[in-house]
Chain A
Amino acid sequence: ELKVEQNPLFLSMQEGKNYTIYCNYSTTSDRLYWYRQDPGKSLESLFVLLSNGAVKQEGRLMASLDTKARLSTLHITAAVHDLSATYFCAVGAGANSKLTFGKGITLSVRP
């Protein structure tokens, strides 16, 4: 059974500082997703990582994938209040990309 773990579940960040959050998964997969969710809203796709060593960047967020270590990281550069949200990682399995989600990490950026 595929398990996806995100730690910590809550992170308080200070504006302007850098942070990294992690996503570990238990079995081989070559598809890793990062989503953002604001309270009461749907999921917004941030990154789709499809191969070992893949790195993608969008604004202050950069995601990477190490399939050998079964680990993805999401690096936040110079945190700003607008990044406050819950971030989910999910791992895709099979041709139909059935997703298994982590429990999410709630990020709160304080002044």
Chain B
Amino acid sequence: NAGVTQTPKFQVLKTGQSMTLQCAQDMNHNSMYWYRQDPGMGLRLIYYSASEGTTDKGEVPNGYNVSRLNKREFSLRLESAAPSQTSVYFCATLSDWYEQYFGPGTRLTVT
């Protein structure tokens, strides 16, 4: 089992460019999450999806969109990247016993 996978691992964008961060899981979990981690800030929830076809905003959703394509995949899109979106992005899933499993992260730099 691969668990939670994320692509790409690293990305550099210029201000105004767009990109999609991909997340996939093979654990058959219903809930999936996107977090960002900034130095000294801990992790903050961007969006989450309780089940296929549903998404909801978290603490810091501005500048992002998400798609829950199917049960396995949950993508995060930056339509017009800004330097403030330079961060490490983590995808996570929730098991039936309330444990969250995190992917390896995507390190994004916006110049």
Contacts and interface: CB of A to CB of B under 8 A. Distances in A.
B102 interface: yes
Contacts of A4: 42
Interface of B: 31, 33, 35, 40-45, 48, 50, 56, 58-59, 90, 94, 97-105
Interface in A79-111: 88, 90, 92, 95-104
Nearest to A33: B100
B41 A99 contact: no
A98 B47 CA distance: 9
A21 B45 CA distance: 24
Overall SS of chain B's interface: strand
Contact of A42 (B45, B59, B90): B90
A75 interface: no
Interface of A: 4, 9, 31, 33, 41-43, 45, 48, 50, 88, 90, 92, 95-104
Contact of B48 (A41, A88, A96, A103): A96
A45 B42 contact: no
